[in-house]
Structure 1
Amino acid sequence: MFNVAIDGTTSSGKSTLAQNLSKVLGFKRLDTGAIYRGIACRFKRLRMRKVNDKNIAKLVKDISIIVSFKHGMQHVIVNGIDETDFLRSEEISLLTSEISPYKVVREKVLGIQRRFAAKYNCVMEGRDITTVVLPNADVKLFITASPEERARRRYLQFEGKKGAPTYEEVLKDLKMRDQRDSAREFGKLAIAEDAVVIDTTNKTLDEVTKICEEIVRSKMH
């Protein structure tokens, strides 16, 4: 199988890039972040109040995760419940950032990721795909942009919504996430030595997709 691994900073555009790149290449795309978010949904459904070793161990022990595709869209089914429509709420985003650093959680997801990569030609994006999950991927990409540009993009996602944060609040939160992601014991955000770094600050999505497509196709021949 031919695997494209993508890592990158928060709001750098890596998820949208992975989606576009998988389409132009005709590959499957695994949104690993959605799997972690699915686990967070399960945590919420169990009405666990605190994220600690005891609760996380209980959560992972009894969890069942299935990744399926309907009309080309990835669905995450957790213990028989399709959580896809609930994955992107801010509450789940914050809960995911608390849960995902735990080693037992990452090991659970790691098995799903590697089985997927062994089965399909795929594009996989996340935080430690190039360094931990698929260290032998055929192509490794690291996507980033300036903090200000990433904050602007994220701010536009909230604009017009009730209780939307200010740009300054979004920028502050993003910088804190960057620091936290780079300091994690497990799932640490890092640039693989053989990864191609692409700064999307002054580039359109089409431009970035084209650049990455050319990199991938050059490795396929």
Structure 2
Amino acid sequence: MTAIAIDGPAGAGKSTIARAVAQKLGYLYVDTGALYRAIGLAVFEQGDDTADPDVVIPALKQIKVELRFIDGEQRVFLNGRDVSADIRRNEISMAASNVSAIPAVREFLFELQRSFAKNNHVVMDGRDIGTVVLPHAQVKIFLTASAEERARRRFEELTQKGQQVDYDTLLAEVRQRDYNDSHRAVAPLKQADDAILADTTGNRMEESIEQILKIVEKRLCDVI
């Protein structure tokens, strides 16, 4: 089976780009960030501290996360409930970052992530796919953009959805998320030694998708 790993910081466009690449190639798309968002949502909805391992770890016993593919689209289910929209709320982004720093959470989701790659050609995106989850992936890409660019994209996305947000607040959150993800003790965000760096600052989404497709196609040709 062929695996394409796309890692990078929050807001770099990984999900949109990975989904488009998977569709183009006829591969299965796996959004691993959605899994951590689901865990974060579960703890957040209980009113608990998503950064407290003493709260989060016991909660895992009551959590079942599933990825179901309906009409070709990935849907996220939390204890049987479709939470695909709920996990995209802005406050859940930090909750996901918090729970992802807890080793027990990463272990909880590890085999679920790997199982998809064992049985399917996949495009999988996240923070540690190329370094930890799929270290032998045939294609590894580290997708990034400046913090200002990523905050601007997030601002436009949320504004278009009718949400009232402040750009400076979003920029601060992006920078904090970058720090949290890159400084956590287990599986920190970093570029794999054999990953190709792709900076999409200033690109339109269509340009970024085309940029990544060219990298993937070239690398797959090189490994065949």
Q: TM-score by structure 1 length?
A: 0.92
C-alpha distance in 2 between matches for 1:187 and 1:205: 28
**In structure 1, distance between residues paired with 2:14 and 2:7:** 7
For 1:163, the aligned partner's letter is Q
Determine the structure 2 residue equivalent to 1:53: 53
Residue 144 of structure 2 corresponds to residue 144 of structure 1: yes
Distance 1:63 1:89 in 2: 19
Decide whether the 8 Å contact of 2:97 with 2:180 is kept in 1: no
Counterparts in 2 of 1:8 and 1:162: CA distance versus 1, 3 Å: closer
CA apart distance, 1:70: 0.7
Assess, with a 3 A threshold, how the Cα gap between structure 1 residues 162 and 102 changes in structure 2: closer, same or farther: same
Equivalent residue, structure 1, for 2:123: 123
Question: How far apart are 1:71 and its partner, in Å?
Answer: 1.1
**Structure 1 residues not aligned, in runs of 5+:** none
- Residue by residue over 1:89-137, the C-alpha shift from the partner in whole angstroms, topping out at 9 and shown as x without a partner, is 1232222222111101011111111001111101000111111111110
- 1:71-150 aligned at under 5 Å gives the runs 71-150=71-150
The AA in structure 1 aligned to 2:137 is A
Instruction: Quote the residue 1:164 is aligned against.
Output: 165
Q: d(CA) in 2 for partners of 1:54 and 1:168? A: 32
Q: Aligned-pair distance for 1:33?
A: 0.9
Report the alpha carbon displacement of residue 211 of structure 1 after superposing the two structures with TM: 2.7
What corresponds to 2:43 in structure 1? 43
How many residues were matched structurally? 219
Contact 1:68 1:75 in 2 (8 A): yes
SS of aligned partner of 2:15: helix
Most deviating of 190-199 and 62-71: 62-71
1:6 and 2:6 are equivalent in the alignment: yes
- 2:205 corresponds to: 205
* Contact 1:127–1:189 (8 Å) recurs in 2: yes
The CA deviation at 1:162 is 4.6
Deviations 1:40-77 (A, max 9, x none): 222244x2423322222211223222211111111122
Task: Please give the secondary structure, in 2, of the residue aligned with 1:96.
Answer: helix
Question: Are the aligned partners of 1:143 and 1:199 in contact in 2 as well (CA < 8 Å)?
Answer: yes
Range with bigger deviation, 194-203 or 171-180: 171-180
- Are the counterparts in 2 of residues 48 and 55 from structure 1 also a CA contact under 8 Å? no
Distance 1:195 1:55, change over 3 A: same
Aligned residue identity for 1:24: K
Question: Which 10-residue stretch deviates more, 140-149 or 205-214?
Answer: 205-214
Cα distance in 2 for partners of 1:81, 1:172 equals: 32
Partner-residue secondary structure (3-state), 2:48: coil
Q: Structure 2: which 5+ runs fail to align?
A: none
1:180-221 Cα distance to aligned partner (Å, 9 max, x none)? 211111231101110000110132322222232232223144
RMSD value, Cα: 1.7
1:30 lines up with 2:33 in the alignment: no
SS at match of 2:85: helix
